Chain A
Amino acid sequence: MKNITLSIVAITMAFITVSCNQSTSKNEQSANDTVAVSAQQASAPAKENDTVVAPPVSDTANGQEAKTAAGETNKFSIAPIITDYLTLKNALVSDDDKAAASAGKKLLATLNKVDMKAIPADKHKEYMDIADDAKENAEHIGNNAGKIDHQREHLASLSEDITDLIKLFGTPQKLYQDHCPMFNDGKGAIWLSENKEIKNPYYGSKMISCGKVEKTIDNK
């Protein structure tokens, strides 16, 4: 009888250990993800230099100047959100689902860090609606490495969120709103780009120059 009890205890322990291991491996995975994100961060500035984007610091300064000029006292800027969005968009331009996933996670982290107190009260609700949706899109893109089609579906929705954020808060840098007529069974989708040249994130190398600039979004 003692033996039986012992074996039951042993098996229960084994059971618990297995379930614990599962959660540990999940933790490890997220730890790895974090590493991937920082690796992405490290490589991001190099890419930005290639495409001749003004350094983010001066962008922020410009954005704030513009806002101060408009008579707003807050210091809230969507510059970090735009930067992460552009990194994500560029990853999909180069058909890189893994880079897109880590950029999605970075964008999610940036959105979660936003200090609501810095946002004017009359824009709170609108911001929250947009941000909730953007977070969901960023999260899906972050969790779907290997499913680039799914990531691109969420980019379509995310691009609308970012466009609406710009309508609310202005853009710290000059952006182009591009339109891809084919995406989503001909329903079409927009994206935002820091460059005038068309580089389609919805089809990548398959149809890199497909689409056209709909409008230029500049400092307001």
Chain B
Amino acid sequence: MSLKKKIILGLIVVLIGIQFFQPLRNQSGEVTDMHIEKVYAVPQNVKAILQISCYDCHSNNTRYPWYSRIQPGAWYMAGHIKEGKEELNFSDFGTYSTRKQRNKFRAMSNQIRDGKMPLSSYTLIHRNAVLTQEEKQVLMKWFDAMADSLK
């Protein structure tokens, strides 16, 4: 067997091997009392956008697509979710201090305005998570109003 064949075979074995090492799934399966929807009255149109475009990485419940089990993509995804939840976790929003909540609302509004969120690497695959101008306005208006109410 040539060296090239051996390498290819080896790679295939490694690829198959890592499929057995799946990261923990980010699915608590419940909406806790500290979830933003329990703490604040989130308008229906805002909620709908949050669910589609934000919660996958910023809550304790990710809706995983079928291919999310394929490694090493699952690791990459798990890393993103971990990072996302550290920055902002809608499932824990009620545990944040008022100051932190206010600043998170402001930061969310800025991120949406600047088009930094949702991440382009996320919307590349999740096309329905791309925000229209209208949806951006809906979010920013609500985020700004919430930030002002927490002064």
Contacts and interface: CB of A to CB of B under 8 A. Distances in A.
Max chain A C-beta neighbours (<10 A), residue from B7, B10, B13, B107? B10
A133 interface: yes
Given A3-B6, A4-B6, A153-B110, A11 B97 contact: no
A133 B103 contact: yes
A210 interface: no
Given A7-B6, A184-B110, A157 B11 contact: no
A130 interface: yes
A130 B97 CA distance: 9
B9 A4 contact: yes
Interface in A1-30: 3-4, 7-8, 10-12, 15
Contact of A133 (B9, B14, B100, B110): B100
B1 interface: yes
B97 A129 contact: yes
Interface in B1-29: 1, 6-7, 9-11, 13-14, 17
Interface size class of B (residues with CB under 8 A): 10 to 19
A11 B99 contact: no
A157 B103 contact: yes
A7 B10 CA distance: 6
B103 to A, nearest CB: 5
Interface in A117-172: 129-130, 132-133, 136-137, 153, 157, 161
Interface of A: 3-4, 7-8, 10-12, 15, 129-130, 132-133, 136-137, 153, 157, 161, 184-185
Enumerate the 6 nearest inter-chain pairs by beta-carbon distance, A residue then B residue, closest first.
A129-B97, A11-B10, A7-B10, A7-B6, A8-B10, A133-B99
25 contacts: A4-B1, A4-B6, A4-B9, A7-B7, A8-B9, A10-B10, A11-B7, A11-B10, A11-B11, A12-B14, A12-B17, A15-B14, A129-B98, A129-B99, A129-B100, A130-B99, A133-B99, A133-B100, A136-B100, A136-B103, A137-B103, A153-B110, A157-B106, A184-B110, A185-B113
